[in-house]
Amino acid sequence: MKPVGDSIGAGNAAWTFGGAVADTFDSHVEKSIPLYHEGHRLVTQLSDFFVSDESTCYEIGCSTGKLLHSLAEHNRNKAAQFIGFDLEPAMVDKANARCKDFDNASARVEDIITAELEPTDMVVAYYTIQFIKPKARQLVFDKIYNALNWGGAFLLFEKVRAPDARFQDITTSLYTDFKIDQGYNDEEILSKTRSLKGVMEPFSTQGNLDLLGRAGFVDVMTVSKYICFEGFLAIK
């Protein structure tokens, strides 16, 4: 195990969200993803266009429930249901504790690959699809599209690969500079990169658009972009 920052350790090609990671995950992810808080705010603002009193909304990979809580709070005058999925029990426990004041927001240990979705008006995947094995991603996109009501939204935020090697070198260097600016040292940055091998596999912008298109989405736009981090809004 090597330190990757924020009291988290990980081995080569062995990053996990389980165990004690949940204790400091919020601090770690806020310093690892540019515009993290701004993205949360954007998601809650976009929910105004899709969430009504009758809505059921899902967050895939809700971790400690920070975004789930923000969605419930932002829509507190609506009777919509907000349901978070996560594979890690420790994350789900923290999410439910965070959302305890909202009867209409809860998290459960669930795998989106096998989960059954009720008809929904909004699905959010905030930097989580990149951790699903590529062979299963089309199945997940198809499931989301089929569960969405007509006019419903899929908000997909992902780390993305650049379209060619030169741009990939540029984005990798800029992202490394970002992590240094957040206070991570060289060992932590390298250890985190090595821990993610085979665990996180981002697609390019076009790769994500292709997944959305094959699922059936026609109306898609980018709503956020910073270096290699992109948010898409897809409407059924």
Instruction: State how far the alpha carbon of 32 is from the alpha carbons of 5, 29, 123, 232, in Å.
Output: 10, 5, 23, 19
Task: Give the separation between CA 75 and CA 210, rounded to whole angstroms.
Answer: 32
Domains of the chain and CATH, by start = 33-161+202-235 (3.40.50.150)
Q: What is the pLDDT of residue 84?
A: 97
Q: In a structure prediction context, what are the per-residue pLDDT tens digits for the chain, which is 236 residues long?
A: 888 888 888 889 888 888 888 899 999 999 999 999 999 999 999 999 999 998 999 999 999 999 999 999 999 999 999 999 999 999 999 999 999 999 999 999 999 999 999 999 999 999 999 999 999 999 999 999 999 999 999 999 999 999 999 999 999 999 999 999 999 999 999 999 999 999 999 999 999 999 999 999 999 999 999 999 999 999 99
Q: What is the pLDDT of residue 58?
A: 98
Query: Kind and range of the H or E element at 83?
Result: strand 81-86
Task: Give the separation between CA 158 and CA 202, rounded to whole angstroms.
Answer: 7
Q: What is the pLDDT of residue 13?
A: 85
Amino acid at position 228, single letter: C
- Look up residue 88 and give its two tokens: 């890690």
- Look up residue 32 and give its two tokens: 């690892």
The pTM of this model reads 0.95
Task: Give the separation between CA 144 and CA 15, rounded to whole angstroms.
Answer: 26
Task: Give the separation between CA 64 and CA 94, rounded to whole angstroms.
Answer: 5
